[in-house]
């Protein structure tokens, strides 16, 4: 398998960012339309105004922010730091679950699968970063 050309890498990264934007937008929409069902799927129980407010903050607000950042990064391939930031936000979620696993164990079922997808997507974004532009100065 040969080396991927810079334009090919940029195109693949842009497509992945667009998929990430779409998936996060749809997840946010699902959370808005049926928060109780989504919370139950994630093992959460929504109680009172604060419970719903926090759910909307993380499952709607943060997901829409990631979607917006990913979409911006897909369109601004000349600024790879935007895609890097999207990758870090995506990777922060499974990292938090790993930290929690020391106290309560790894996530189970659908959330375990989602965590794996997040790790793969975040790492793929970093691996598709344009060569010759270091992540850190």
Residue 1 resides in a domain: no
Helix axis angle, 6-33 relative to 80-104, nearest 10°?
Answer: 50
Residue 56 resides in a domain: yes
In this prediction, residue 94 has a pLDDT band, given cuts at 50, 70 and 90, of very high
Question: Of 28, 45, 26, nearest to 36 (Cα)?
Answer: 45
Instruction: Give tens-digit pLDDT for 65-87.
Output: 999 999 999 998 888 999 999 99
Residue 10 resides in a domain: yes
- Res. 2: pLDDT tops 70: no
What torsion, rounded to 10 degrees, do the Cα atoms 76, 130, 123, 27 define?
10
Q: What is the pLDDT of residue 58?
A: 93
Q: What is the pLDDT of residue 9?
A: 87
Q: What is the pLDDT of residue 1?
A: 45
Residue 133 resides in a domain: no
To the nearest whole number, what is the mean pLDDT of the chain?
91
Residue 118 resides in a domain: yes
In this prediction, residue 6 has a pLDDT band, given cuts at 50, 70 and 90, of low
DSSP string, 94-116: HHHHHHHHHHH----THHHHHHH
Instruction: Give tens-digit pLDDT for 110-130.
Output: 889 999 999 999 999 999 998
| Angle, vertex CA 49, rays to CA 96 and CA 90, nearest 5 | 25
Please give the model's pTM, rounded to 2 decimal places.
0.85
State which residues form the domain around 74. 6-127
Work out the percent of the chain whose per-residue pLDDT is above 90.
Answer: 77
- Res. 51: pLDDT tops 70: yes
Q: How far is CA 40 from the centre of its chain?
A: 20
In this prediction, residue 132 has a pLDDT band, given cuts at 50, 70 and 90, of low
Domain total of the chain: 1
């Amino acid at each position: 398998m040969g080396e991927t050309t810079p334009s090919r890498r940029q195109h693949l990264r842009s497509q992945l960012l667009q998929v990430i934007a779409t998936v996060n937008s749809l997840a946010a929409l699902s959370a808005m339309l049926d928060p109780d069902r989504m919370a139950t799927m994630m093992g959460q129980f929504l109680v009172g105004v604060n419970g719903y407010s926090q759910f909307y903050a993380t499952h709607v607000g943060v997901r829409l922010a990631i979607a917006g950042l990913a979409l911006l990064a897909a369109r601004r391939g000349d600024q790879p730091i935007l895609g890097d930031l999207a990758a870090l936000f995506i990777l922060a979620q499974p990292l938090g679950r790993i930290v929690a696993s020391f106290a309560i164990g790894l996530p189970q079922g659908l959330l375990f699968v989602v965590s794996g997808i997040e790790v793969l997507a975040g790492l793929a974004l970093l691996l598709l970063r344009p060569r010759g532009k270091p992540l850190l100065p």
